[in-house]
Chains A and B, each alone.
Chain A
């Protein structure tokens, strides 16, 4: 017990000490967290009136970002599956970082919800036995279940393996492998449940499509590696952990499978909405082309589609994807394209037009943007700190001192 506490103390010390560049980065993120926290405090006291959400568009940018970051969390499975199921040693060296990214993304998701609801202090109402979870009927209640499970697993696996590594002991297969395999299926579940949360509602025709869950998973499989390429490049450059080229090759491989499927599914949706021409296509009409001068999303969705097409082309053409600069561009386009398509391009049109066919548009307020940036900064901060400690243990800088 004492030894374990001492281990935590040393990890905290490791996280607190770093280069000047590390401090600058931490300070930058902390500033973002702080401003976000101030907005949250204001919301807590004054209500959500400072947002641009209304009874017509009752979910805004917070939920859009929530949906996107669920994808990032699920994207960790892209690393977990090959390293444990196919025992790829090169990927196994970095898989813990992927799991810690999942932890950060799940935390970000929970914060997006906590800062978006009207009564955050009543969150305990969702925690049985004191609270009540409306199972099995509420998909949001299911989300609470799968998110807590996924968070717990992704804390346990790296937590256990790193502690063993610190002690210099061999990890016991039984203590973590069952959870590894469970977490693979669970990664699918967090995104499926989130998709069902939206697609299960008959009231919102735009979301009410069976293709939503597969679209979510595929886009998660694309945005996950795109983000990981940047994260691993940064780690490779700034830390003592060297990421093998074969890992990046693997990401490129995943991207050139996922991106075309993502486009294909988008095309399927597009056809289904517009060829049928039913009254339910009105939200899609609004999103892509605008209706009666209401067109605030048109200038977002088309760039997103173009980004995705260009990125797909780069990933598919060998000469282009092997040029690092083009590769990074494609990754950036993928991240932005999917963020728009899956965030605001999916969440907002679900509410537009409203229940009786009237158009009330929504653009996030500055307050909402600052709050959202703060939440994302918190995620980045959490990941930075955890990754730093992880790398120190992994390269052997932080290990148990001989007695």
Chain B
């Protein structure tokens, strides 16, 4: 079948024919530009989710993937991060060590409310700058009231000088032994790992926010908009279940810096604390500092009556000495 060649304008054509041809060309142009514009805007719209590809849409649950599948997914995610931020990341899938139970303890008598843990966490975990998402909330209240979390207030700017009538309480995920968030998730997109860390498969989360409603500590944050991080700020050391960049429409939270602790480094918040108020370690190790604190010091677990069994202990060293 021969395709009809489009008629060309010749110098001798009549005015009528010229008009007809131009009109037809105009119409064609109009159709083409509209299609392109519509398709283009649709594509660029979908481009907002750089992960909105068939492979992402059909990706399975983290725990269901075979090693080969997981490897190809990790490669894809590393490629996506590189494309977007021009930094070559390493997305780890290091599993939990057996027999380990990570916990944190925080000394309320020495915390000065400087909020460096919040900032350290923010940098380490590739948290969105705009909109700003922070996993740690800095709270303060009168000394008597602090542990009940009934009348505490969040603050952004750290106090210039520690107020002696106040306690400061950094609040994040309590890594509960009995996590109500994981119980609530309809798709099992969030669960407790064998080392006690509660993790989220960001590619499996449907964004229903039932976990947010179920969490008594306000630890979970939702990506209401497309998160954004300047390329220079990207921390390339990542974990699949931890600080890899998240996408719009999913929930995220503290993972005890899973990318660090599974590599044998303490969490960022612990590392940056100027007064060493935060202690991190393995509760099952009898020689660890946290083991001593949990077993020998009177500690507080927030909202203990709810039966969540937090693995984040607050204590007061001042009364001990």
Q: Which of B116-148 contact A (CB under 8 A)?
A: 131, 137, 139, 148
13 residue pairs bridging A and B, Cβ less than 8 Å apart: A46-B48, A46-B225, A47-B225, A58-B209, A125-B189, A125-B204, A134-B188, A138-B183, A203-B180, A203-B216, A203-B306, A355-B149, A356-B152
Q: List A residues 247-306 near B (Cβ within 8 Å).
A: 279, 282
Determine if B149 and A47 form an interchain contact, defined as CB atoms under 8 angstroms apart. no
Q: Are B189 and A118 in contact, CB atoms less than 8 angstroms apart?
A: no
**How far does the alpha carbon of A58 sit from the alpha carbon of B215 in the complex, in Å?**
11
Closest Cβ of chain A to B163, distance in Å, is: 18
Chain A residues near B189 (CB-CB < 8 A): 125
> In the complex, are the beta carbons of B186 and A141 less than 8 A apart?
yes
Q: Do B220 and A357 have beta carbons less than 8 Å apart?
A: no
Q: Are B180 and A144 in contact (CB under 8 A)?
A: no
Q: In the complex, what distance in Å separates the CA atom of A228 from the CA atom of B315?
A: 59
Is there a chain B Cβ closer than 8 Å to A358's Cβ? yes
Contact, CB under 8 Å: A144 / B186: yes
- B residues less than 8 Å from A140 (CB atoms): 184-186, 208, 210
Chain A residues, CB < 8 A from B64: 132
B186 lies within 8 A of A55 (CB) = no
Segment 169-210 of B: residues with Cβ below 8 Å from A:
171, 180, 183-189, 204-210
B306 contacts A202, CB within 8 Å?
Answer: yes
Whether A355 pairs with B208 at a CB distance below 8 angstroms is no
Alpha-carbon separation in the docked complex, A356 to B303 (Å): 10
For the complex formed, measure the closest distance between the CB of A309 and the CB atoms of chain B, giving whole angstroms: 31
B250-A118 in contact (CB<8A): yes
Interface residue? B218 (CB, 8 A):
yes
Task: Judge whether B259 is part of the interface by a CB distance below 8 angstroms.
Answer: no
Contact pick for A45, options B46, B210, B220, CB 8 Å: B46
B215's nearest neighbour on chain A, judged by CB, is: A203
Q: Which residue from chain B places its CB closest to the CB of A140 in the assembled complex? A: B186
- Nearest CB of A to B218, in Å: 3
Question: Nearest residue in A to B64 (C-beta to C-beta)?
Answer: A132
- Interface size, B (range): 35 or more
B8 at the interface (CB under 8 A from A): no
| Cα A282 to Cα B151 with chains together (Å) | 11
B249 touches A113 (CB 8 A): no
Chain B: which residue is nearest A125 at the CB level? Answer: B187
Q: How far is the CA of A13 from the CA of B182 in the complex (A)?
A: 49
Which are the 6 A-B pairs with shortest beta-carbon distances?
Answer: A118-B207, A118-B249, A355-B218, A203-B216, A140-B186, A49-B225
**A119 touching B207, Cβ below 8 Å:** yes
Chain B residues whose C-beta falls within 8 Å of the C-beta of A123 in the assembled complex = 206
> Which of chain A's residues have a CB closer than 8 A to the CB of B249?
47-48, 117-119
Mask of A350-365 contacts with B, CB within 8 angstroms, 1/0 = 1100111110000000
* A interface size (C-beta, 8 A): 48
Query: Complex formed: what's the CA distance from A56 to B225 in Å?
Result: 16
**How many Å lie between the Cα of A202 and that of B154 in the bound state?**
22
- Distance between Cα atoms of A116 and B184 in the complex (Å): 17
- The prevalent SS among residues of B at the interface is loop
A116 CA to B183 CA, complexed, in Å: 21
Q: Is the interface of A mostly helix, strand, loop or mixed?
A: loop
Give A88 to B125 CA distance when docked, in angstroms.
65
Asked whether A121 is an interface residue with its Cβ less than 8 Å from the other chain, the reply is yes
Q: Which residues of B contact A138 (CB under 8 A)?
A: 183-186, 188, 210
Q: Hey, which chain A residues are within 8 Å of B205, CB to CB?
A: 118-119, 122
Contact A350-B223, Cβ < 8 Å, known A138-B185, A203-B306: no
Is A53 an interface residue, CB under 8 A from the partner?
A: yes
* A99 CA / B259 CA spacing, docked (Å): 53
In the complex, chain A residues 123-181 whose Cβ is within 8 Å of any chain B Cβ: 123, 125-126, 131-134, 137-141, 143-144
- Tell me if A356 and B218 are in contact (CB < 8 A): yes
Q: Do residues A279 and B150 form an inter-chain contact, with CB atoms below 8 A?
A: yes
For the complex, what is the distance from the CA of A279 to the CA of B148, rounded to whole Å? 10
- A5 vs B232: C-alpha distance when bound (angstroms): 61
A109 to chain B, nearest CB (A): 14
CB-based contact A351/B213 at 8 Å:
yes
Q: Does B18 contact A (CB under 8 A)?
A: no
Kindly state whether residue A59 has any CB partner on chain B within 8 Å: yes
The answer to whether B248 and A134 touch across the interface, beta carbons within 8 angstroms, is no
Q: Report chain A residues within 8 Å CB of B229.
A: none
Q: Verify B222–A58 contact, CB threshold 8 A.
A: yes
Residue of B nearest to A282 (CB): B150
B214 sits at the interface (CB 8 A): yes
* Chain B residues in 8 Å Cβ range of A342: none
CA distance A122 to B185 in the complex (A): 14
Interface residues of A in 32-67 (CB under 8 A from B): 45-49, 51, 53-56, 58-59
CB of A357 within 8 A of CB of B152, answer yes
Contact of A59 among B137, B209, B215 (CB under 8 A): B209
Question: Are B213's CB and A203's CB within 8 A?
Answer: yes
Alpha-carbon gap, A52 to B306, bound state (A)? 29
Q: Is A49 touching B188 in the complex (CB atoms < 8 A)?
A: no
Residue B231 interfacial (CB < 8 Å): no
B212 interface residue (CB < 8 Å to A): yes
Closest beta carbon of chain A to B133's beta carbon, Å: 8
List residues of chain B with CB within 8 A of the CB of A197. 210
B286 is an interface residue with CB less than 8 A from chain A: no
Min distance, Cβ B273 to any Cβ of chain A, angstroms: 21
B19 is an interface residue with CB less than 8 A from chain A = no
Q: Using A47-B249, A203-B215, A357-B151 as known contacts, say yes or no to A134 and B225 having CB atoms under 8 A apart.
A: no
Contacts of A215 in B (CB 8 A): none
Chain A residues in 8 Å Cβ range of B251: 118
